[in-house]
Amino acid sequence: MDVDTRLLRYFAAVAEEGTLTGAAARLFVSQPALTKQMRRLEDDLGVRLFARSRSGMALTDAGREFASRVPALLGAWDEAVQATGRVARVLRLGFLDAGAVGAVPEVIAEFRRAQPKWRVELRQFDWSDPSAGLARGEVDAAVVRLPFPGQGGFVVRELFTEDRGVLLPARHPLANSETVEFRELRNEPFVAAGSETGAWRDHWLAAEERDGYPVRVGAVTSRPDEWLSAVAGGCVALAPASAARFYSHPDVVFRAVRGVSPSRVGLARSRRHVHEAALHELLQAMTRRLSRS
């Protein structure tokens, strides 16, 4: 039988966390989706790996045996991928939104001049994974917006900050204001990311800047088109200033906001020092480009 390595990573997370809730938050997947994947793995193997109860997911004898072998399997696979990448000289760079990587094409061009044998692959992820592929080992580094869940497990270098503003329906009473006070928005229905995105979702709801006012979630989305449609339909959403340049909708306006902290953008990578020299050169190219800005 063939087993998807992603299933193995999901299994390892559930085994380590002991609960589907904890593992789902760590992996940026929904709990129902993770439950389905664990049942699929058990069906593929023909054994029960977990004893399920209200208190969590306890490993069966077969599950403990499997769990003892999975790290070596994943380690060998990761080493094979990394070795292939070193030979092919490919860096996989994840990102979430165009605003965060606006200067990246120029950075990549500069990096290629310094490292002509290396190639950079850009991979975009939706907002259901704020780590932009790092948490699941799908990229070598990522341009991310801070904070994101699991951030402490990676090496993160902050690159720049940009103001946050607000997207409003064009018919909204505040749409004609040049600048909006955040306190005027606290009772509005906000567009939110999925609950599994934790601190990242809270940041874009300004949860710490509400002075005790509860969040009203009007829609949950993970893609820019859904995001803009939800705002056009009557919700509001905090957004980085660059959103006004990269995303547009005829029924949505962007306005500056006072009373919220800026968005921070960083370059994150694994602590395992994969492609260390090439990543260092890429970071230096980013730093040089940003200093010229």
Looking only at Cα atoms, what is the longest distance across the chain? 64
User: In this structure, are strands 252-258 and 179-181 parallel, antiparallel, or unpaired?
Assistant: parallel
Q: Which fold has domain 90-146+271-292?
A: D-Maltodextrin-Binding Protein; domain 2 (3.40.190)
Angle at 112 between CA 108 and CA 114, to 5 degrees: 120
The pair of structure tokens assigned to 15 is 């085994």
**Preceding peptide of 147 cis, ω within 30°:** yes
pLDDT of residue 152: 87
78: pLDDT confidence band, cut at 50, 70 and 90?
confident
Give the per-residue pLDDT at 59. 92
> What pLDDT, on a 0 to 100 scale, did the predictor assign at position 115?
81
Query: What pLDDT does 273 receive?
Result: 61
- The domain made up of 164-261 has a fold known as D-Maltodextrin-Binding Protein; domain 2 (3.40.190)
pLDDT tens column, 202-241? 999 999 999 999 999 999 998 889 999 999 999 999 999 9
CATH of 5-84, one of 3.40.190.10, 1.10.10.10, 3.40.50.300, 3.30.1280.10: 1.10.10.10
**pLDDT tens per residue, range 108-151:** 888 888 888 888 888 999 888 999 998 888 888 898 999 988 88
Residue ranges, CATH 1.10.10.10, the chain: 5-84
**CATH 3.40.190.10 region(s) of the chain?**
90-146+271-292
Weakest-pLDDT range from 13-17, 153-157, 204-208, 280-284: 280-284
Stretch(es) of the chain classified as CATH 3.40.190.290: 164-261
Is residue 271 packed enough to be buried (19+ CB in 10 Å), middle (13-18) or exposed (0-12)?
Answer: exposed
Residue 288 one-letter amino acid? R
Q: Is the pTM of this model over 0.85?
A: no
Q: How high is the pLDDT of residue 87? A: 63
Look at residue 221 in the predicted model and tell me its pLDDT: 94
Q: Give the count of alpha carbons within 13 A of 229, CB side only.
A: 8
d(C-alpha 107, C-alpha 200), whole Å: 26
